[in-house]
Amino acid sequence: MEIVAFAALLIGATLRIGAPIAFAALGATFAERAGVINVGLEGIMLFGAFAGVLVSYLTGNPWLGVAGAVVTGVIVAALLGVASITFGANQIVAGMAINILALGLTRFGLDVIWDRPGVSPSVPGLEPVHLPILSDLPVVGEAIFRQNGLVLLLFVLVIISTVVLRRSRFGRHMEAVGEAPEAADSVGISVHRTRYAALLISGALASLGGVALSLGALTYFVEGMTAGRGFIGLAANIFGRWTAVGAFLAALLFGLAGALQVSLQVAGVQVPSQFLLILPYVLTIVALAGAVGRSRAPAALGRPYRTG
Amino acid sequence: MTVPVSGEVSLGARTSGGPSPLVRMRSISRRFGHVLANDSVDLELDSGEVHAVLGENGAGKSTLMHILSGSLRPDDGIIELDGLPVRFANPRAAIIAGIGMVHQHFKLVPTMSVAANIMLNDEPSRGGLVDERAARSEVRELCTRFGLDLDPDARIRDISVAAQQKVEILKVLRRQVRLLILDEPTAVLTPQEVRDLFRFLEGLVEGGTGIVLITHKLSEALGIADRLTILRGGRVVSSRTPDDLTPSQLAKLMVGRDVLLEVRRRPATSGESVLAMRDVRAVDGRGVEALRGLDLDIRAREVLGVAGVDGNGQQQLVEILAGIRVATGGSIEWLGEPIQIGSVAEQMRRGIAYIPEDRQQRGLIMDLDVRENLILRRFRDEPFAHRLRLRPTAIEQHARDVIDTFQVRARPTDAARNLSGGNQQKVVVGRELKGVPRLLIAAQPTRGVDVGATQFVYDQLLAARDAGAAILLVSFDLDELFALSDRLAVIYEGRIVETFDPRAVDEEQLGLAMAGVRGNATFA
Amino acid sequence: MRSSSVWLWPECVGTRPLLSQSRPAASVFALLLALASGAVLLLIAGHEPLAAYSALLNGAAGSDSRLGETLMNAVPLILTGLAVGVAFRAGLFNIGAEGQLLMGAVVTAGLAPTLALPWFLTLPLLIVVGGLAGALWAFVPGLLKARLGANEVISSLMMSYIAFYVTEYLVVNPLKAEGVLPATELVPEANRLPRMGDVLSGVGQSLGLSAEEIPGDFLGRLHLGLPIALLVALGTSYLLWRTVPGFAIRILGLNPEAATYGGVRVGRAIILTMMLSGAIAGLAGAIQVLGVNYRMSSTFSPGFGFTGIAVALLGNITPVGIVLAAVLFAVLQTGGQVMQRSAEIPVAIVTIVQALVIFFVAVQLRLPRSYLYVWGARLRARAARWRS
């Protein structure tokens, strides 16, 4: 297979595989900047994937499915918020509980709603979007600009997120809450409310990642289909140093590993799949080892805040 | 009746008129658990004057001012502003009413800029986005107006502590407050910076702002205050002008006992050299050099007091001797032999005991019981352990012994959390003093401890001294230092600059040394 | 003036509340609430909760062999629960127990078919080797945390995923046995953990009892791993409360600053505790290979390591609690499989109940009465302020 075609294939695959991770990574960025470790991203992704398929099945409209996924993600995130922010439950434990709950509830749902073990029926999925000039560009058009709507939404969201995080009042408040909650509290910023907001946003983003998987890359739900992408998203955020663009690029990098594996297989090259698949995890550990010291995590990350 | 809404002030019916002071606090009471921090306190504050609120640790000054600035709510009593009763739901409400507080521990976001911190939660914005240029120019304008010098774009973690304090002050001043409360502002400043600060405050006062200065430093209070209020044990002991008040009279009012200033003790007959430090250097937690060539000698059977403004290296000195921190330069001799300090365990083996300055954070484990806390340092050694196995009977017996000897009001199985502050400190002291150590490092040993337990601690320290120990007493409490020390060293900017005989020096001389001034020269 | 931190101690993520509360009542309440929620879900789905739960209990303990099956499934949970629990005690979140378990399993499965020594040598050797593998796998996150302050949640989780793919590769390539299955060679009978039934009949015979008096088929597939796991539980208990290193671990978890002041070398303690935790998890893997699967495949673990976290929490991070919690989860797991077959109820309900248990434990719900009290007090305070 010639190089250019391979490159196009690779880029396209990277975007398709990396998009769900990127959504999750963005979600992690928002949550962690405000000081909340959202380990439950994985579970919210799965819930989102399921909800998207369910709504698309019921309405026949995949974009309604996307909306349904976002609503679900926000609700689950709210639950996580109540547990960890209001009740002071340990964020990591509550998050893991959500992950396991997602596995169980979605499996249960598959059984109860469709009476099917493991896979849902095929539902209307997101079609690739045709952009006027861009999609018709020779190589790039196929690879980048013929993705489904969610991938394009991703690009937009990355830009919006960067602006919000760095230049908006809300972004400033989030930074204050994540770095020095006492300082934020002393000027009247509600630490709890800001963290809730960040958590809800991260839930919405994570569920977008889930539905990008179930309705974007595929057209059905498979039990456990997120397979750790939520955690990879968490890792991507760390690798990307807690910035929106960094998280996005890191997620794409991690997606590249998976895409390489697929593309190489298609191109007929024999490489044991596991070598490429462990790349994201190894890279994250490298990042953890190197990132600390240059760019730290938000100082108050993971600490519940008790108002006097 | 009015409804207090977050961010707003609720006003009630007007009380009787007359030329009222700016603020009047009436019968304010506030309790924390068993402790009555404020007991029916009355206070009047005027604009255009500096009012110092004095008192020891735990006297209730911070609590009172937190109530006034809206961070805490009183259990009882009224605050009147311009004659009208007010109730602040939160600090924001107080600021809107014109009362702002600069905290002792700065509430700043280290990763954000000066301008961002000053504008926090009040940022100038255009369409939801922060208007950086407007923020910057407002900060510059504020700086000019108040005669301060700050770079709006500098990050908080990159600027000096004094500059950070200015940021905190600007945060408050920008809201046109009429009353500015400062909580121990000079604790983190060099003498030059203190002079700058006081000059700045005087400027504010001339402009009509009222200033409240919370402090425990007698000389400062006497120097700048127009009026003083002294708190002791949660109550107002005196409220007056500083005329005709000497430091020792003031000290007596604050402390309420002569006993403290004249602890009877046998004069020291100091013995052989226990510890000799030469040109020792060290850095602090942020990598800044904290000890810059420190020389120190301690002998057996003497109490060496170390006086100094917090932040001059005391902490690092103590940590090195305890084995928690490694010195970056210089030499240390122990009992005449040069040594390298390797670890905490090694220091313990040498017979070095350490009463840490923060018993709740460092000295005790709140969730463990008295028995376990008592073996916190020696759980590896006989008789508490045999090889790797703990020996519960020995541990229990030890607890009983200490409780008996030191009269701790607790049972061996009580969790440390449930003991009073004084009893907690007794546990720490009992742990460190059971058996006479060679060297005892006592850092703020009576902080937050009631009178009775304080007396007890002093007795124990002196008894240890008489039994042969060398004692290094690091304290911010000058009276304590005067009472207990056989020699009094002053630490300034990481060096011991002078050593006095506490009976032959007065507080002013000492204060000058602490400020880095000796005779007519200042220390480099 | 605050004392500055002397070292780069990263925040232990809220473990102090976890460790300083001992509330068996909260655990029980969480369990009941989770079961009730599960019942509601079943009702919605058109099933009969009581029938479902009784089928579950029956499936878990309805007969000797079923009980044996349940206890057999409890063994890895006891061990992973202990592994996670020991780490918790030091203030560490060993989320990567799963990876350590897998490494222990693969090493044991790879080594076992090659050994031909007498059983009293091979079994201990294999088990120790499995533990070592787990310990080494936990070394990396421990080192990262001790030296760099890197969050061990993420690093150990990443190691878990790496372990999963590494063992998958090993199972499919180098270690693969002949045949179609992606699995390692079978462990020879001589090197397997004997069934409890066999052990008991062996003991009985040597005591002179006749064949009828010995319950040779006692407890089905339950193997020697259970007593081993219980011994490990006893050992952990002894370690934590009766030994010097255990004391160091506990004070480290409760207050790292005070622990330093007490002479504990924090970095070294972190690494050693993580390795101990990893060793126990690796042990779990080894025992599963030697006692249940007799080989390793890519579908080896249904998430024992992750369930271990739940077990540790539900069991209040005490060895006794962990054993009980492990048995409980095993009951749910085993009974659930049978329930699915016999009563046609989706086994996913078990997963849901498990998740809810963790969730409710994390939230530390107490009996409603005490909540009413707290809320009542808050309402009263707010009313007092309004009245002003």
DSSP result, B320-382: HHHTSS--SEEEEEETTEEE----HHHHHHTTEEEE-S-IIIII--TTSBHHHHHTTTTTTST
B261 CB near a chain A CB, below 8 Å? no
Q: What are the structural domains, with CATH classification, of chain B?
A: 3-98+177-255 (3.40.50.300), 107-174 (no CATH), 273-365+437-522 (3.40.50.300)
B383 CB near a chain C CB, below 8 Å? no
Amino acid occupying residue A134:
L
A308 CB near a chain C CB, below 8 Å? no
**Do residues B157 and B106 touch, judged by C-beta distance below 8 A?**
no
Give the pLDDT of residue C282.
96
Contact residues, chain A, for B123 at CB < 8 Å: 169, 172
When pLDDT is cut at 50, 70 and 90, the band that residue C322 belongs to is: very high
B372 CB near a chain C CB, below 8 Å? yes
Of C314 and C182, the one with more pLDDT: C314
What span, in angstroms and rounded, lies between the C-alpha atoms of B203 and B25? Answer: 26
**Do residues C36 and C49 touch, judged by C-beta distance below 8 A?**
no
Angular region, B345: left φ>0, alpha ψ -120 to 50, beta rest: alpha
Contact between B310 and C1 using a beta-carbon 8 Å cutoff: yes
Contact residues, chain A, for B122 at CB < 8 Å: 187
Contact between C244 and B3 using a beta-carbon 8 Å cutoff: no
B508 membership: H or E segment, kind and range = helix B507-514
What span, in angstroms and rounded, lies between the C-alpha atoms of C386 and A227? Answer: 52
Q: How far is CA B8 from CA B66, B79, B91, B94, B171, in A?
A: 17, 15, 10, 8, 18
CA-based angle A237:A240:A245, to the nearest 5?
95
Min CA distance, B267 vs chain A (Å)? 48
Tokens 């002030």, residue located: B9
Cβ pairs bridging A and C (under 8 Å):
144
C374 CB near a chain A CB, below 8 Å? no
Min CA distance, C266 vs chain B (Å)? 11
- Average pLDDT over chain C reads 82
**Do residues B39 and B45 touch, judged by C-beta distance below 8 A?**
no
3-state secondary structure of A180: coil
Of C372 and B389, the one with more pLDDT: B389
Model pLDDT for residues A49-85, shown as the tens digit of each residue: 999 999 999 998 889 999 999 999 999 999 999 888 7
**Do residues C134 and C282 touch, judged by C-beta distance below 8 A?**
yes
When pLDDT is cut at 50, 70 and 90, the band that residue C100 belongs to is: very high
pTM of the shown model: 0.80
Whether C318 shows a pLDDT value over 50: the answer reads yes
Of A173 and A290, the one with more pLDDT: A173
Cβ pairs bridging A and B (under 8 Å):
65
Q: How far is CA C129 from CA A245, B126, C182, C226, in A?
A: 45, 65, 23, 19
Peptide bond connecting C346 to the previous residue in cis, omega within 30 degrees of 0: no
pLDDT over 70 percentage in chain B: 86
Q: What are phi and psi of B29, to 5 degrees?
A: -130, 145
Beta strands in C273-378 (DSSP E): none
Q: Which residues contact C335 (CB under 8 A, 6 or more apart)?
A: C55, C56, C57, C58, C59, C60, C61, C70, C350
Give the pLDDT of residue A43.
95
What span, in angstroms and rounded, lies between the C-alpha atoms of A292 and A304? Answer: 22
Q: What is the rounded radius of gyration, in angstroms, for the C-alpha atoms of chain A?
A: 19
The two three-digit tokens of residue B1, written as one number: 């009746």
C294 membership: H or E segment, kind and range = none
Q: What are the structural domains, with CATH classification, of chain C?
A: 66-326 (1.10.3470)
Model pLDDT for residues A106-131, shown as the tens digit of each residue: 988 888 888 877 888 888 888 777 66
The DSSP output letter for C179 is S
C11 CB near a chain A CB, below 8 Å? yes
Amino acid occupying residue C213:
E
Model pLDDT for residues C334-343, shown as the tens digit of each residue: 888 888 887 7
What span, in angstroms and rounded, lies between the C-alpha atoms of B214 and B235? Answer: 15
Whether A233 shows a pLDDT value over 60: the answer reads yes
A206 CB near a chain C CB, below 8 Å? no
Q: Which of A138-152, B258-272, C319-333 has the lowest mean pLDDT?
A: B258-272
Min CA distance, B125 vs chain C (Å)? 34
**Do residues B478 and B500 touch, judged by C-beta distance below 8 A?**
no
The DSSP output letter for C11 is P
Alpha helices (runs of H) in A212-278, residue ranges in sequence order: 229-239, 244-266, 273-277
Chains with 3 or more CB pairs closer than 8 angstroms to A?
B, C
Q: How far is CA B491 from CA B301, B421, C5, C58, C275, in A?
A: 22, 28, 21, 76, 44
Model pLDDT for residues B65-121, shown as the tens digit of each residue: 889 988 888 898 999 888 889 888 888 888 888 999 998 778 899 889 999 999 888
**Do residues C8 and C149 touch, judged by C-beta distance below 8 A?**
yes
pLDDT over 70 percentage in chain C: 84
Tokens 């590769």, residue located: C169
Q: What are phi and psi of C355, to 5 degrees?
A: -60, -40
Three-state SS sequence of B202-233:
HHHHHCCCEEEEEECCHHHHHHHCCEEEEEEC
Of B228 and A262, the one with more pLDDT: B228
Whether A158 shows a pLDDT value over 90: the answer reads yes
Give the pLDDT of residue A258.
77
